[in-house]
Structure 1
Amino acid sequence: MTQAPATLRAIRRRHDREIVALAVPAFGALVAEPLFVMADSAIVGHLGTAQLAGLGVASALLMTAVSVFVFLAYATTAAVARRVGANDLQAAIRQGMDGIWLALLLGAAVIAVVLPTAPTVVELFGASDTAAPYAITYLRISALGIPAMLVVLAATGVLRGLQDTKTPLYVAIAGFIANGALNVGLVYGAGLGIAGSAWGTVIAQCGMAAAYLVVVVRGARRHGASLRPDAAGIRASAQAGVPLLVRTLSLRAILMIATAVAARLGDADIAAHQIILSLWSLLAFALDAIAIAGQAIIGRYLGADDPEGARNVCRRMVQWGVAVGCVLGVLVVISRPVFLPLFTGDPVVKDAALPALLIVALSQPICGVVFVLDGVLMGAGDGPYLAWAMVVTLLVFIPAAFLVPALGGGLTALWGAMTLMMTVRMLTLWLRTRSGRWLVTGATR
């Protein structure tokens, strides 16, 4: 039976309120980590070029590690949201604790690897002789904060699954302020140099992790959930995260290949590519915020045995993704005369970046659909399909990317290949959502 127009409008308004309530705070929290790096760079940059170069190498390695383990947030969000939908908050928080214990174990393993191998890793990354000592110092100290960073990821997933994205925003803001103050005090006040910056960031991250744990522990006590590590639960969390790890590594491989191809095109092209990639990443935060809302809401609907509600909210979120993508694309076109001079005054670099920038603008609606459907399938716990789809996308992108220099194409052609990659992702995700096979209901998948 067809629903009345007034009823449909009421349903859409309810979905819109949920999406906005979750997506807007999520966007603020997503921006926090890049802001940490920017603040550290601004403070360390006044120490000297070698120190800043060392920070750049170490930060790139740390950011890669964080991106690899982002499944801690994604998998936990979906699992917790399902149990919230099933109205079993005790099991929801218990599931979240399993993710947090897994984060601690993985963090300890990373420390055990990074501390002895830091000089080798920095050398492999191509740090100069003058920058390498600073990179090693920063990397070794910052590695001590990796368990806290991973706990933050897992605990963020818990709160998102509980339909709370405001607390992560507040914690992120407090962490950013604390990080800036500690860096200034330790780098300049205490005279610790780049080591002070690393210690400041570690302390701020530990403070953020502690704040999250206070919130989660209070919830556990309120609902009678155990805080003790459970081997079976931790193992299940790890197994759920493996497909998302494959997905993330495939995506990272695509971005690395794109950068490698751009480097072969020439200095002006690689410089322009880095500018465009920075913008593309910034735009991704806005779209990823909608995806995070999708993870939380879809998981809740499926946990409540409401596949039709999940399908309806999926449809509405796709509309949001397209609309936000169109707005972002228009903003890119309008702001390009102001945006490019912020990064370079070289007319050759500007000429290389401009047409590729227009391709990025035109592709934003596609990106909007991709991010939304990615979040929907994550919320449904459809990790194995996401892993398979991303591997297929990688296999399509590799020959397309390497044909660019072989056929004499430039940066515009490379970003055309990037748009092809996003189009393939959109098709694989659309086929899956259209099939309905992701609509698996119940407290667990």
Structure 2
Amino acid sequence: MPITPRDREILRLAVPAFGALVAEPLFLVADYAIVGHGLGTTAVGALGVAGAVLTTLINLCVFLAYGTTASVARQTGAGRHREAMRSGVDGMWLALGIGVALIVLGWPLAPSVVELFGAAPEQTEMAVTYLRISLLGTPGMLLVLAGTGVLRGLQDTMTPLVVAVASFVLNAVLNAWFVLGMDWGIAGSAWGTVIAQTAGAVVYLVTVARSAARLGIPLGPDLSGIRRAGTAGIALLIRTVCLRVVLLVATAVATRMGSAELAAFALASQIWTLMAFALDAIAIAGQALTGRALGAGDIAETRAATRRMVQWGLWSGVVLGLLVIAARPVIPGLFAADPQVTAELLAVLWPVALLQPICGIVFVLDGVLIGAGDQRYLAWAGIWNTLVFLPAALFAPDLVLLWCALGVWMVARLVALGTRAYGSAWLVTGA
């Protein structure tokens, strides 16, 4: 594909977005490494339990970034810069409110939530400690999501990359200091993450506040605007819950098959997730560019940009699939997998690789429709796609067919999103 000015615009947004997407999950990776080195296996298990809860919260609240991106981009495209910034401020107030609510609800419920995992008593106590302290960082974490959405909507993905990398470095340094240097135990790891997340939130607050001041936008809460942001977020939350249900059901089915199958599924899922970051970066560009073009009333540009991003998604998926096939013989060795896990993993890497071109198209179209503000359709499509997946997964007799069930789900998403994108109902122009 020859590089065009439109391609350069897509890459200008997608490449920094990819870096930020990769940096965010490294928070927990750094925690695991430092806790494992300083506190041992029991603490790592406790961190795994608390980390699963926190990761779920992050995934469920990602609508704060996506919804804000779409709203701000559309207003920006329409030339309504004051309204764009007001939408961003409202999104950040919504994030703050949800973060405070999670602390109020999560603090007393933390022991009950951790006990659901059935960990040993010592691990349970440590997991509750980590989770409760980490909850204090949820307002900052959610403000980062909303602030990221604001800047993406303003066509700026470089600042989120810088903040993500700086926050990761700060998190790693503080974790090492608190856990290894000051001997604070697992609580030190949690405090390090809370401080890093809060520092990142402060950067976004200052950035948005300065932009709002230049436009004369008051920073106080606007209840009607916050309510609009929350209403738009409900549909995206439903979509996200459907995605989580699919992944949780797939994990449960793999667990039922046996320990080797579960280990192979977990490793294959990590590879799938890493490739999803690369493809989702193009989807983020799709959110920003689609919102801006529709806000400007330019349907022709929206169509052209969508076609080009679908091509980028398709060919990126082809390249990623080929990389998995080429690396397939050595991947099990990277994880020190035993022979049984190796055999299962080598088998499932074929469907993982073959599905990547479909994933590339699906992720792009998902981002385009989010950018268009077509959240209600995405919610209903998520429900129906999940219903298609469930019978295919629940009756899968082995791991390969379980991944084929995930393939059925991806094809269902491709049909639902492709049909919608081919039509015109989502092409709503103006602010």
Question: Fold-level match, TM-score > 0.5?
Answer: yes
Letter of the structure 2 residue corresponding to residue 431 of structure 1: T
Counterpart Cα distance in 1 of 2:139 and 2:316: 35
Q: Deviations over 1:144-174 (max 9, x none)?
A: 0001000000000000000000000000111
Contact 2:50 / 2:130 at 8 angstroms: preserved in 1? yes
Instruction: Point out where structure 2 has 5 or more consecutive residues left out of the alignment.
Output: none
Please show how residues 102-251 of structure 1 align to structure 2 within 5 Å.
Answer: 102-251=94-243
Counterpart Cα distance in 1 of 2:279 and 2:119: 34
> Which position in structure 2 is the counterpart of 1:414?
402
Q: Deviations over 1:189-229 (max 9, x none)?
A: 11101100000000000000001111111111112222110
Give the one of 359, 364, 378 matched to 1:386: 378
> Which position in structure 2 is the counterpart of 1:4?
none
Compute the displacement of 1:345 (Å): 3.0
1:423 equivalenced with 2:408 (yes/no): no
Compute the displacement of 1:266 (Å): 1.1
Structure 1 consecutive aligned stretches of length 4 or more whose deviation exceeds 3 Å: none
Aligned residue for 1:131, secondary structure, equals helix
Give the one of 82, 93, 100 matched to 1:101: 93
> Which position in structure 1 is the counterpart of 2:428?
440
Compute the displacement of 1:130 (Å): 2.1
Contact 2:63 / 2:237 at 8 angstroms: preserved in 1? yes
Q: How many residues align?
A: 430
> Which position in structure 1 is the counterpart of 2:33?
42
Letter of the structure 1 residue corresponding to residue 369 of structure 2: L
1:284 equivalenced with 2:276 (yes/no): yes
Contact 2:329 / 2:346 at 8 angstroms: preserved in 1? no
Q: Deviations over 1:57-112 (max 9, x none)?
A: 00110010010000000000000000110112111111000000000000011001
Aligned residue for 2:156, secondary structure, equals coil
Aligned residue for 1:130, secondary structure, equals helix
Counterpart Cα distance in 2 of 1:267 and 1:55: 21
Q: Given the two structures, how large is their TM-score scaled by the length of structure 1? A: 0.95
Counterpart Cα distance in 2 of 1:222 and 1:125: 49
Q: Which moved more, 1:25-34 or 1:284-293?
A: 25-34
Compute the displacement of 1:403 (Å): 1.2
Q: Deviations over 1:28-83 (max 9, x none)?
A: 10112211110000000121111111111001100100100000000000000001
Letter of the structure 2 residue corresponding to residue 137 of structure 1: T
Compute the displacement of 1:129 (Å): 1.3
Q: Deviations over 1:416-441 (max 9, x none)?
A: 00011001000000000011111000
Give the one of 18, 23, 27 matched to 2:14: 23
> Which position in structure 1 is the counterpart of 2:333?
341
> Which position in structure 1 is the counterpart of 2:258?
266
Compute the displacement of 1:236 (Å): 0.0
Identity over aligned pairs, percent: 57
Superposed CA RMSD: 1.1
Counterpart Cα distance in 1 of 2:201 and 2:314: 35
1:59 equivalenced with 2:51 (yes/no): yes
1:82 equivalenced with 2:70 (yes/no): no
Compute the displacement of 1:263 (Å): 0.7
Instruction: Point out where structure 1 has 5 or more consecutive residues left out of the alignment.
Output: 1-7
Compute the displacement of 1:128 (Å): 1.6
Compute the displacement of 1:337 (Å): 2.0
